[in-house]
Structures are given as C-alpha cells and as structure tokens.
Structure 1
Amino acid sequence: MTDSETRAARLLHHRKPGLVAGDPVVPPITASATYHLPQVQGAPFVYGRNGMPTWEAVEAQLALLEEAECVSFPSGMAAISAALFATLKAGDRLVIPSDGYYVTRILSEGFLAPLGVTVVQLATRDYAAADFTGVAVVYLETPSNPGLDVLDIAAVAARARAAEARVIADNTTMTPLLQRPLDLGADLVVAADTKAPAGHSDVLFGHVAGRDAALMARVSDWRRMAGVVPGPFEAFLVHRGLETLEVRLERMCASAALIADRLAAHPKVRGLRYPGLPGDPSHGAVGGQMANGGFLIGFELATEAEAEGFLARCPLVEQTTSFGGTHTAGERRARWGDAVAEGFIRLSVGVEPVAPLWTAIGEALG
C-alpha cells in the first residue's frame, strides 16, 4: 500500500468523523453570503468572502492530498496570482519559466513588472545552472507545459533556499498524487484544479498549498481582500471530482504510456515528448520525484495543416484547450504563441478505453 493510496482512501471519508445521524454524506451546497451573527466571537462563518462550508469541504480534501494547508480559488490563475502577490513587493526579482504556461508570463510581464518587480525568464532546463543570488521568488513548473521538460525540484529548492529565495511550484500537470513539490522543498504549490482534480471540464478552480502558517495567512488575506473567491456550486463540483481522481489518473496515465509508445513508432510523428518513455529527456524524473510519466503527450506533425487535419479527423480527440479531463483532448499549441513547432500537438489522454482510442488516433494519423 502506497502513501498515495492511503491519501486517496482518506479523502473519500474525510467528512465521516464530523457526521452525526442523518447528516448527508455528500457535502451540501451552502449558497449563502451572510450568516446568523448575534455575536462574531465563536462563529465558524461570518461572511461569504471570508469563507463558507462548501469551501471548507473541498479544502479539507486538498489538504489531505497535499498534507498541507490549502486555500481555494475560482481558477488556477487566481491561485497563481495570489501566490505571487503574497510573496513579492516592488524591487524584488522573480524567476519564471520561459517555456511554462504562457498566462503566467503575461501576468508577470504585464502586471508585476509595472509594479516594480524585475521578471527574469529562464527555460526549465536552465534552472539547474541558474544563479539565484538576489532573487526573491523562484517560480517553477515541472513538467513544463507544453514541452514537458523537467527540473530537479529538490536541487533547485535547495539552491533557492541558500540564496534566501522562496520557491513556488506549479504542479498542475502532475497533481499531488503524482508529484509532491512541498516534500521536495517548495514553499508554496499552486495548481489549476480545473484540470485533472475536478476532471470533468465543467468548472474553473485552483488552490495554493503550503506548510508555512504565516505565508499561507498572506495567501488567505489576499483572497479575502481581492475578493477572488470560489462559489459554493463550483466547490461542490470539485469535491465530487476529487473523489475519483486516483481512479481516473490510473487509467489516464496507463493509456498515455501505451499511446506514447505507439506514437513513437509512427512514421508521421516526430519530436515526441512523454516522460514515461525511456529515451525521453525527462525520463530520469520518473520513479523519483514523479510517480509515472503522467497523462500529457507532446508530438509534432510535419505542418500546421497536418496537425489541424489530424485533430479534425479524430473522433475521439476533442479540439479544445486545457487538459486533464475525462475526454482525450488535443490542441495545436503554436496558436497561443508557445515556442513550439507549428505542427506541435499537446495531447491530454482521457479515460476512454485505450483500444478504441488508439484505433481512432492511428486512423486519423492515416
């Protein structure tokens, strides 16, 4: 029995100790902005912007997975913004990945830089040799999205700590069941729970996790002051999705490994990236900081037209942005400005039975 399996089992029963006879096993959707307050002292909830019961339920789940305090947000970008604003001030130096999620770069250059933060962009592979002297925050994303390059979280975190820098790790591509940045030295983890944790492509959500109480208080204060709060129905959907995360990941990752192996042998496919393949540049992280190769695959077709044609022809691949859902999804990432070939496709493998999924992919490749 693994630690991951233990956390997944506890997650499913996290409400049991507090239930009394007749209570619903599933947390109710508490749609209230105000609460009965004859006095403030001792009240568990005071106002909808401060907290609500349905957040409490999903944050308890996330805290079990992360083994850390968690603060939830209405999107992954809201979580990223909170972590950055809670740790940076004018005059600070921030390192971000040049090959990571592009909206993080837009936020940093478009909003943090004008406030006096110096933004330094590094490729994920270059973090290993980077000098963090004078840096306030080292923000990393591994595997990178969409290129799937990795860095050694523990090594980078140790060097950042020696330079008195904080480390924020975006763990969206792996989830806490497949990779644990806090255990490896990160100060904060951010994630878009819109992806695999919620899992059904029907809700925006995110969270920040950390084990430093003072730092997490800053994150919580940012949520309250900025008003970036999730709604109760959204929290309910994420709570429901998290209950099947471990089961979904098992199939998604196993299917991705099989499909990546077959894509590697296909004559039309070039530039294949999947950390689970022994020859991949990121394979060294698998079995160490990563439990397996994950569910994302990157590969190139010869041209933009070939890539778009493949996506249009394949009946079992949704043409959509985002990843981690029950449906296999593919996207030509160059359309968003990522530094990838025009024919590069990011494939997020879903929960479909793998035999018909591969048949559909193989036929669409033609």
Structure 2
Amino acid sequence: MKKELKTSTKVVHAGTSTSNQGTSINSNPIFTSAFHLKGNIENASHQYARFHNPTWDALENAIGDIEGGKVLIFPSGMAAIAATFMALVSSGDRILLQADGYYATRAFTENYLKKFGVEIHAVKTCDLPEQDFSKYKLTFIESPSNPLLDVIDIRQLAKHIHRAGGLLAIDNTTMTPLGQNPLSLGADISVCSDTKALNGHSDVLFGHIATNDDDIFQEIELWRKLSGSIPGPMETWLVHRGFSSLDMRLERMVSNAEKIAQQLVDHPAIKSVRYPGLKTDPSFKIAQQQMNMMGFIISFDLETQKSAELFLSRLNLITEATSFGGMHTMVERRARWGTDNVSEGLIRLSVGCENSNDLISDIENALKDLK
C-alpha cells in the first residue's frame, strides 16, 4: 500500500513535471495564445488561451491537492472574489457579509451588485453565530477577519447555513490552505488572495477559488472563460514557484509571530493585542480547534494616531506597507484608509521571515517611552 505523503512534501512536489529521463525538474511557463486544434475540438486537451493553459493546470492541481477540491486561478484576489459573486448571485438574491471584514469585498458588492437588485446585509463577526441565515443565497466571510483577527467556528456556521439552504464562502487569505482548510470544515468555497502568503514574495497579484461542488466549479469556470479574468503564464509560474516554499515560510513566520505577540501583550504602551495564538485572546479556543497554525498577523492598538505614527517612524527594519504575507515583515496603521471601523492607533503587523530577535529589537526600540 502506497504511503500518503505529508503535506509539507506535497507542497514542494505538487504540480511538478514527471520524472521521465532527461525531462525538466521544474514546470515551465507556456507562453502561447493558441494551440494546435485540428478536427474534433472535444479531443483537444487545450483549445484557446482564454480557456486554459498547461501552466495554469500545474498550479491548479498543486493548490487543489492541498485545498482538497478543484481550483480555478485568477489574476488577483479581488478577481477571485468578484468571480464568486458574479457567477453565483442573481438579481433578487440576498447575500450576507462581514461588517468587520475586508473592505474591498463590501465595496464590490455595494458598487456592482446592489444596482442589479442584489440585497446586501453585513453583520459583525461576533454576531454571526446568532444570525438567521434563511433566505440568504450566499454568506461570504473571512476567518480570521482582517484586521481584527476574530475567528468564527466554520463547521458550525456551515451547518446553520446549509440547513437554511444557502452557500458558504470563506476568504482564507490570512491563513492559506496550509493554515486552515475551509472545505474540510464544511465550506462550499474557499477563496484566497495568493498575492499574500501563498506566493509570499510580494511580487505578483494573484488569487484562486477552490470547491468540491462540481456545479459551483462549472459556474465560476464559465465566468472566468467569458469574462477573460485570467492570469498570465509568467505570473502563474511565479506563484507556483513561491507556493513550493509555503510550508517552510509559514513555519518561520508563525514562530516569529508567536514570540512577538508574547512580547507585545504586556507592554505598557499597548492598549490591546489580538493574536489567535494567545491564550488570552477571545478567538483562542475556536482557533485551536480548526486552524493548523495560529497565523503570522498580529493587530495591536496604540490608541491614538500620534502614538501609532511615532511608532512607525521609529522602525528601521520593518517595512510600512499595505500588504501582508511576504518574506519581509510589514506594518500599517489601518485607520489611515478610512475604510475599517477600527481605532486610530490600530497597527496590523504581518510578520515575515527575518530573525525573531532582530524583529523584537526593532519593535522594542520603536515602542520605547511611547505614551
């Protein structure tokens, strides 16, 4: 009986080429807009570059092996989110979102779905367990939420939603399919911005959806085909290359985040710290049950804009930027965008792969004498 490979091994080898004598170890990008297509098109593995590409196949198979479902890739995380809504929601449908989740998801639905007669409701993450899901076609949420890192029991949520006849989509960007597996917890769709940790090198915009429902897959695949919302082969290849090191990167990032969270939790300059791996965090119990790791994002509150900006100005090693999940540790005062209902002093810290002692020293120096 063939032994099942460990997930860390699968990530390295998933979607790579065969081991035939003299063939390339790596899967290479295929640059073409057309394929040889004689006679009966049904017999052709590939027909036209807007429909499919061998470079896509390799990455979709690789991610699908970890997601536990069939995967479709997109040119950005928002393209994957938009495809989910556009393919599955019709005029007259009701959808439920998080009021404290990713702003762009809410903005897309408000700007482009509402005018076509889709009814949109938003509730806070903490209120989801008591929500009545009847008459909602689709519930779309993040867990952990961004940026406050609230965690919802996905398995229980899926049961409630399915009992009411709806669909559940989980934005899994903050965890990636290695950190958490929404499909195995009962979600119908797992969405991820691979721009972030899955690629991990802050050099590509990318996204994917995964599902084990054939009807959902076909609807979203048709949307991608007809809308032309497709990634290029070079970007696809770069993400595949980044994906192969995901397990190793996450191991360092999460280990660093755990150490930094412990450093921050009792610091006198900090009003509060959110990290699911802290035993004192409201999300700790549920996170332990459904997440494979506690993540690399920490949110902490310096209460005022002045304190937050002084902290940021003192950092030497950590980069101020609006993304997360990269090799470099990145930090941001989230209220500067005016889109999140958070404290003016809330800091989102995305912990990278540097030495933890160097990161802690940089943070300590920036917090010194802060009031």
- What TM-score bracket applies, with the shorter chain setting the length? over 0.9
Correspondence for 2:361? 359
- Residues 172-218 of structure 1, C-alpha deviation per residue, up to 9 Å, x if partnerless? 11111111111111111111011100000000110000001111011
- Secondary structure, in 3 states, of the residue corresponding to 2:34? coil
CA distance in 2, matches of 1:201, 1:4: 32
Secondary structure in structure 1 of the residue aligned to 2:290? coil
Q: 2: CA distance between counterparts of 1:16 and 1:114?
A: 44
Q: How many residues align?
A: 364
Question: CA offset at residue 85 of structure 1?
Answer: 1.4
Corresponding residue number in structure 2 for 1:13: 13
Name 1:238's counterpart in structure 2: 239
**CA offset at residue 7 of structure 1?**
2.3
> What's the CA shift for 1:20?
2.3
Q: Distance in 2 between matches of 1:270 and 1:128?
A: 27
For the 8 Å contact 1:312–1:319, the answer to whether it is kept is no
- The answer as to whether partners of 2:13 and 2:244 remain within 8 angstroms in 1 is no
Map of 2:285 onto structure 1: 284
For the Cα contact (< 8 Å) 1:29–1:236, is it kept in 2? yes
Structure 2 equivalent of residue 341 of structure 1 = 343
Distance 1:88 1:38 in 2: 37
Q: What amino acid is aligned across from residue 353 of structure 1 in structure 2?
A: N
- What amino acid sits opposite 1:117 in the alignment? V
Q: How does 1:28-47 map to 2 (within 5 A)?
A: 28-39=28-39, 40-47=41-48
Give the alignment's TM-score, normalised by structure 1. Answer: 0.97
Counterpart Cα distance in 2 of 1:291 and 1:67:
15
TM-fit CA distance, 1:138: 1.0
Q: Which residue of 1 aligns with 2:230?
A: 229
Query: What are the residue-to-residue correspondences of 1:187-226 with 2, within 5 Å?
Result: 187-226=188-227
8 Å contact from structure 2 (residues 17, 25) kept in 1: no
Q: CA RMSD in A?
A: 1.5
1:14 Cα offset (Å): 3.0
Counterpart secondary structure, 2:311: helix
Q: Which residue of 1 aligns with 2:173?
A: 172
Distance 1:16 1:109, change over 3 A: closer
Of 118-127 and 41-50, the range deviating more from structure 2: 41-50
Residue correspondence of structure 1 range 76-95 to structure 2 within 5 A: 76-95=77-96
Q: Which amino acid aligns with 2:189?
A: L
SS, match of residue 41 in structure 1? helix
Alpha-carbon spacing, 1:15–1:172, altered in 2? closer, same or farther (3 Å): closer
Distance 1:14 1:243 in 2: 8
| Sequence identity (%) | 43
Structure 2 unaligned runs (5+)? none
Matched AA of 1:6: K
The secondary structure found in structure 2 opposite 1:277 is: coil
Are the equivalent residues in 2 in contact too, given 1:270–1:300 (CA < 8 A)? Answer: yes
Deviation by residue 1:286-336 (Cα, 9 ceiling, x = unmatched): 321112321100001132122122122211211101100000000111112
Point out where structure 1 has 5 or more consecutive residues left out of the alignment.
none
